[in-house]
């Protein structure tokens, strides 16, 4: 058993309380490798933004959970070295799908876990979520739960259609589970293809796809039911056109990739939405930078020469999100 407190990490409780009061959102960035982690920590340290490092079940399998724990511990020390005296860094399990996985993360130094039982029937979702909360809270680890179903694909999580969260269920769910935050479905979606072209309209000038707006009426109804309760948005990448264009220009093939417009996320950040998950955008930045190097310098075979530019582009992306979209800069 390793306590996250020994690793210098923090849970989400205070972060979220401050974010709701202050009208901003905490970035939750997924990481799978060293370059991504460096870029996240550098961006957070330089903008003094609290940050949630997210690890999915897939990332845990890819990078090894022991290594991930020490990477998170290393991230705290790295942040201090960058001049961030009291780093506000949370290590969070993204989309935990069983009690055993969540328990293992709690025991391994995570400061926060998500139990995603949203695909189960309502009562089973409550029972499993409560079991995780009861275990995690013994160690002051915070728990995110999910109600409603997001469309899209992310690692092992996938659904063809979305079902909006039902506002009439949230009070019962939050009360009976004791969860610390709630991921809701209001039209965000996992992956780089958040909407089919049929769900979008086309901008007559540019020919680009314009996605349907988020269901802010559902968010408002949820906030009315649960005043001041931390709300989480998954699947909130914007799929920046510049990265998609770069990827396609240098030999990639991502036709009609589309995300959530940043002005909608800006609006959400000012509400009780206090955690916004961004994964696909950094995957796109990484891929765009690597493809550019490969296309321009076919003789390059030193991984530092293509992972380095990928790291720089991701750092720029993270800073942009922190400063221009979530408003969490200067809050840690």
* Residues with active-site annotation: 94
Minimal distance, residue 57 CB to Zn ion, in Å: 11
Minimal distance, residue 237 CB to Zn ion, in Å: 10
Q: Which of 1, 88, 104, 11 is nearest to 45 (CA)?
A: 88
CA–CA dist 77, 98 (Å, integer): 31
Minimal distance, residue 155 CB to Zn ion, in Å: 9
Which residue of this chain has its Cβ atom nearest to Zn ion in the complex?
A: 234
Q: Which of 14, 33, 23, 37 is nearest to 318 (CA)?
A: 37
Looking at 51-59, 96-104, 106-114, 234-242, which segment touches Zn ion (CB under 5 A)?
234-242
Q: Looking at the chain, how many residues does it have? A: 332
Q: Which of 124, 163, 159, 162 is nearest to 145 (CA)?
A: 124
Instruction: Measure the CA angle with vertex 258, ends 42 and 56; round to 5°.
Output: 50
Query: Of 158 and 175, which has the nearer Cβ to Zn ion?
Result: 158
Minimal distance, residue 195 CB to Zn ion, in Å: 16
Query: Of 281 and 290, which has the nearer Cβ to Zn ion?
Result: 281
CA–CA dist 253, 149 (Å, integer): 28
- Tokens 């109600």 belong to residue: 147
Query: Of 47 and 181, which has the nearer Cβ to Zn ion?
Result: 181
Query: Of 69 and 275, which has the nearer Cβ to Zn ion?
Result: 275
Paired tokens of 51: 């940050």
Among the listed residues 57, 69, 130, 234, the single contact to Zn ion using CB under 5 A: 234
Q: Residue 109: CB partners within 8 Å, gap ≥ 6?
A: 2, 3, 4, 6, 7, 9, 69, 72, 73, 91
Q: Tell which positions 15-54 bind Zn ion, by CB under 5 A.
A: none
Q: Residue 248: CB partners within 8 Å, gap ≥ 6?
A: 254, 255
List 85's β-bridge partners, or say none: none
The reply on whether position 194 binds Zn ion by CB under 5 A is: no
Letters for 67-106 (x = contact with Zn ion by CB under 5 A, - = none) are: ----------------------------------------
Looking at 6-14, 130-138, 141-149, 227-235, which segment touches Zn ion (CB under 5 A)?
227-235
Q: What does DSSP say about strands 209-210 and 201-202: parallel, antiparallel, or unpaired? A: antiparallel
Minimal distance, residue 235 CB to Zn ion, in Å: 6
Query: Of 87 and 116, which has the nearer Cβ to Zn ion?
Result: 116
> How many amino acids of this chain bind Zn ion (CB under 5 A)?
1
Q: Which residues bind Zn ion (CB under 5 A)?
A: 234
């Amino acid at each position: 058993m390793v306590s996250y407190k020994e690793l210098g990490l923090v849970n989400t409780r205070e972060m979220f309380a401050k974010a709701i009061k202050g009208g901003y959102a905490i970035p939750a960035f997924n990481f799978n490798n060293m370059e991504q982690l460096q870029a996240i920590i550098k961006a957070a340290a330089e903008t003094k933004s609290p940050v949630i490092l997210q690890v999915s079940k897939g990332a845990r399998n890819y990078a090894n959970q022991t290594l991930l724990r020490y990477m998170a511990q290393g991230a705290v020390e790295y942040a201090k070295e960058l001049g961030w005296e009291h780093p506000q860094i949370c290590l969070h399990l993204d989309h935990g799908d069983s009690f055993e996985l969540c328990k293992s993360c709690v025991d391994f130094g995570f400061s926060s876990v998500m139990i995603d039982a949203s695909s189960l029937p309502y009562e089973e979702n409550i029972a499993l979520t409560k079991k995780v909360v009861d275990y995690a809270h013994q160690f002051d680890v915070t728990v995110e739960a999910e109600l409603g179903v997001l469309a899209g694909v992310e690692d092992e999580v996938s659904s063809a259609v979305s079902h909006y969260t039902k506002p009439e269920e949230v009070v019962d769910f939050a009360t009976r589970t004791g969860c610390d935050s709630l991921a809701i479905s209001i039209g965000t979606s996992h992956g780089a293809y958040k909407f089919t072209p049929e769900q979008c309209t086309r901008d007559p000038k540019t020919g680009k796809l314009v996605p349907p707006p988020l269901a802010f009426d559902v968010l408002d109804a949820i906030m009315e039911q649960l005043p001041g309760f931390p709300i989480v948005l998954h699947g909130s990448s914007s799929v920046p056109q510049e990265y998609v264009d770069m990827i396609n220009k240098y030999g990639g093939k991502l036709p009609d990739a589309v995300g959530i417009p940043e002005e909608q996320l800006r609006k959400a950040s000012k509400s009780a939405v206090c955690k916004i998950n961004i994964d696909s955008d950094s995957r796109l930045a990484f891929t765009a930078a690597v493809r550019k190097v490969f296309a321009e310098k076919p003789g390059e075979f030193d991984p530092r020469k293509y992972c380095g530019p990928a790291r720089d582009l991701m750092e720029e992306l993270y800073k942009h999100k922190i400063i221009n979209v979530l408003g969490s800069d200067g809050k840690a």
